[in-house]
């Protein structure tokens, strides 16, 4: 009994100490946030991102001690701070976005709202749809049509990324079909609407497997967001590979779509 009592005290204490250590690692970054980003050099911001990358790698390896949901929520708050820092992201890009969600959804794969943020930040802003889809696939192994509620949305997010960013029509069709199957288990209006639209999309993709216009439009979204040079170059490359053309003008990017699919 004494052993169990000590273990019950020591385990959460170790978890708290680990989180405190990670917080101390993050302290220089918090100090940086107190200063206007306009006054901070790119070298300083890049150093901060290296420090943040080390912190995230530590969190990936750190045991949860049964506090997975707490860690997931805490890292999600860190992600929101990172993603919402527009001035810093304009200089360094969004390359760390998938790293946050590897931790968040590993610790709490039923964190439904995180999947939408993953799709938006990793696919659209960071230009890394492959990693976003990979993280979603791992999380889906812990989901069912009933847990959590509206889990069918994850299949829709995955299908959108597969279609718009990878051009993987077959996988996208299967994802939308699964979304329709999961949503059809519920009788509420929202679920029935999602089931119907997902089913229609799946049928459309089976009949129109090579819609390049939709893919180009998605990559234009990436290009028009504040992204780093690497992501911008990939977006332009993807658009041109699909038959589009990007013309850079003083007024912004001008996109020409192919005349035919």
User: For residue 71, what are the CA distances in angstroms to 81, 104, 150, 208?
Assistant: 15, 7, 23, 43
pLDDT of residue 249: 84
DSSP 261: -
Residue 188: count of CB within 10 angstroms of its CB:
11
pLDDT of residue 177: 96
Q: What is the pLDDT along the chain (261 residues), one digit of tens a residue?
A: 444 444 444 444 444 445 544 444 444 444 444 444 556 788 888 999 999 999 999 999 988 888 999 999 999 999 999 999 988 998 999 999 999 999 999 999 999 999 989 998 999 899 999 999 999 999 999 999 999 999 999 999 999 999 988 989 999 999 999 999 999 999 999 999 999 989 988 998 888 887 788 788 888 878 887 667 878 888 899 999 989 999 988 888 888 888 766
**How many Å apart are CA 204 and CA 181, to the nearest integer?**
16
Q: Who's near 64: CB < 8 A, 6+ residues apart?
A: 15, 71, 107
The whole-model pTM stands at 0.77
pLDDT of residue 14: 46
SS3 content of the chain, % helix, strand, coil (to 5): 75, 5, 25
pLDDT of residue 149: 93
User: For residue 29, what are the CA distances in angstroms to 60, 186, 218?
Assistant: 19, 45, 33
Q: DSSP string of 45-82? A: HHHHHHHHHHHHHHHHHS--TT-HHHHHHHHHHHHHHH
With b meaning 16 or more CB within 10 Å and e meaning fewer, what string describes 27-42? eebeebeeeebeebee
pLDDT of residue 261: 61
Half-sphere exposure of 222 (CA within 13 A, CB side): 33
DSSP 210: T
**How many Å apart are CA 209 and CA 163, to the nearest integer?**
9
pLDDT of residue 64: 84
Task: Specify whether the CB–CB gap between 46 and 92 falls below 8 A.
Answer: yes
């Amino acid at each position: 009994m004494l052993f169990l009592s000590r273990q019950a005290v020591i385990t959460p204490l170790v978890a708290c100490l680990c989180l405190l250590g990670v917080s101390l690692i993050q302290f220089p970054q918090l100090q940086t946030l107190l200063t206007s980003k306009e006054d901070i050099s790119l070298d300083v911001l890049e150093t901060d991102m290296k420090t943040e990358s080390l912190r995230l790698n530590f969190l990936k390896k750190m045991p949860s001690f049964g506090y997975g949901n707490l860690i997931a929520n805490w890292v999600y708050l860190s992600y929101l701070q990172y993603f919402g820092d527009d001035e810093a992201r304009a200089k360094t890009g969004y390359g760390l976005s998938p790293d946050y969600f590897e931790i968040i959804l590993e610790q709490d794969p039923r964190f439904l709202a995180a999947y939408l943020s993953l799709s938006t930040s990793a696919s659209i802003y960071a230009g890394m749809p492959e990693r976003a889809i990979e993280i979603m696939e791992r999380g889906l192994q812990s989901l069912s049509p009933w847990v959590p509620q509206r889990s069918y949305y994850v299949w829709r997010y995955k299908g959108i990324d597969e279609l718009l960013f990878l051009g993987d029509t077959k996988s996208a069709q299967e994802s939308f079909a699964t979304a329709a199957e999961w949503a059809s288990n519920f009788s509420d209006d929202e679920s029935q609407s999602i089931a119907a639209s997902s089913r229609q999309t799946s049928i459309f993709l089976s009949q129109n497997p090579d819609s390049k216009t939709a893919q180009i439009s998605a990559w234009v979204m990436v290009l028009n967001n504040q992204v780093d040079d690497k992501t911008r170059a990939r977006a332009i490359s993807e658009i041109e590979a699909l038959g589009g053309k990007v013309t850079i003008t003083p007024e912004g990017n001008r996109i020409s779509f192919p005349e035919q699919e």
